[in-house]
Amino acid sequence: MIYLKLHWQLLATTLLVFALWQTPAVAPLKILIVFLHELSHALAAWLTGGSVEQISISAAQGGFAVTRGGNRFAILSAGYLGSLLIGAALLMLALRSQADRLVTGVLGGVMIVVTVLYVRDVFTALFCVAAGGGLLGISRFLGHGANDMVLRVIGLTSLIYVPYDIFDDTIARSALPSDARMLAAEFGGATLMWGGLWLLVAGAFLVWCMRHILGKSSNLKSTSRS
């Protein structure tokens, strides 16, 4: 009961996301997490000496990143696990810092920059400009509490969506093209093996997040600064 009292806002947000999971209301959030997935591929390419040619996402919650060079193992592994780390980082910054407006603005700015440099299709451009512009507007015109809640929702949705996506793409429908299937083709093993490993890592990471990120209380205070 004490735990519920100290974290009821975060639990309520999680339950709301789950309740609306199959509705159009959560679809833009899911597509945003797909963007973070493809951005993670791009980041892995850059960090391992490669380059990025294109980033694309779709209304059907799919996407791809075209990269050249870099470490293929790291690049293929980075999509699910990288977006999980980004989601956890956004949630941690919301809970543990007062830089919410800055973080929201940076995320919006990154989406705009990625659009200009790496987006080649209409849907991705429209979505990233709309979402990035919206985040910049929230950062500029709304207060700390609103920005904090936006980061919480994005972070929580990523932490929920990534394990579900790993299971759906690599285990429940292992015959479909996926990062795990490409990893199996290039490095050996089976799609189910890589998907299972990623799911175990994601589960362990979620437990770690519950123990180390939430802190004593995650509730927003009514005296939050603007």
What's the pLDDT at 90?
Answer: 94
With respect to residue 3, please indicate whether it lies within any of the assigned structural domains: no
> CA dist 192 to 76, 84, 176, 177, Å?
15, 19, 11, 12
Residue 219 lies in a domain: no
Q: Phi, psi at residue 222, to the nearest 5°?
A: -65, -15
Q: What integer pLDDT is reported at residue 211 of this predicted model?
A: 79
**Residue 171 domain-assigned (yes or no):** yes
pLDDT for 104 equals 97
Give the chain's domain count.
1
The H or E element containing residue 56 is: strand 51-57
The answer to the question of residue 218 being in a domain is: no
Task: List, for the chain, all residue ranges whose pLDDT scores fall below the cut of 50.
Answer: 223-226
Question: Structure pTM?
Answer: 0.90
- Boundaries of domain holding 102: 9-212
Would 222 be classed as within a structural domain? no
Residue 226 lies in a domain: no
